[in-house]
Amino acid sequence: MRVFAHLVVIVGLLTTGVVAATPQAASTPPSQAAAFLGTWTVTMTAPEEMKGRILTVRIWNKDGRLTASFQTAPNAPASEATGVLSDGNMIVASIGHHAQRPMRENGAPIWVTFTLTLDGDSLRLAQTLERSATIKHGVGRKQSGAPQGW
């Protein structure tokens, strides 16, 4: 009986720890990231094999929350971020395995994170991919005439 009591306490502590450690979905009001809203054309600058490639980033208000999508090739469909968080002059967006259109490498879904920062009227992008130690970089400009808060 004593072992059972210890087991109940341990399971209770572990359960409490898991619940406390589970991240809550952060929702950033689009008004806190107004300068980011719109469509950005980003030219990749590093690594060498990525230089010159174009990435389209869209940031908008979707039902009162900040949303982003990333299109990695002109004829490819955009992938909507599964998580977006704004912190002042920075947005961190992620695309997980469970995304409606996950990013893929060799046919398998991968996690991708994008860190976006404003530098004057430019957008700086850093991209990391699951199973890759290389951080990809790019700089972009907002497209004129694009809707700002769709």
Task: Indicate which CATH number applies to the domain containing 112.
Answer: 2.40.128
User: Does residue 15 fall inside a structural domain?
Assistant: no
Return the closest-CA partner of residue 137 out of 46, 34, 21, 76. Answer: 46
- Give how many domains the chain has, as a whole number: 1
Question: At 126, is the pLDDT very low, low, confident or very high (cuts 50, 70, 90)?
Answer: very high
User: Average pLDDT of 111-121?
Assistant: 96
Output the pLDDT for position 41: 97
* β-bridge partners, 91: 86, 116
User: Does residue 49 fall inside a structural domain?
Assistant: yes
Output the pLDDT for position 27: 58
User: Does residue 117 fall inside a structural domain?
Assistant: yes
User: Does residue 5 fall inside a structural domain?
Assistant: no
Mean pLDDT of the chain: 82
Q: Residue 28: which residues within 8 A CB-CB, separation 6 or more?
A: 65, 66, 84, 85, 86
User: Does residue 147 fall inside a structural domain?
Assistant: no
Domain of residue 119: give its range. 25-142
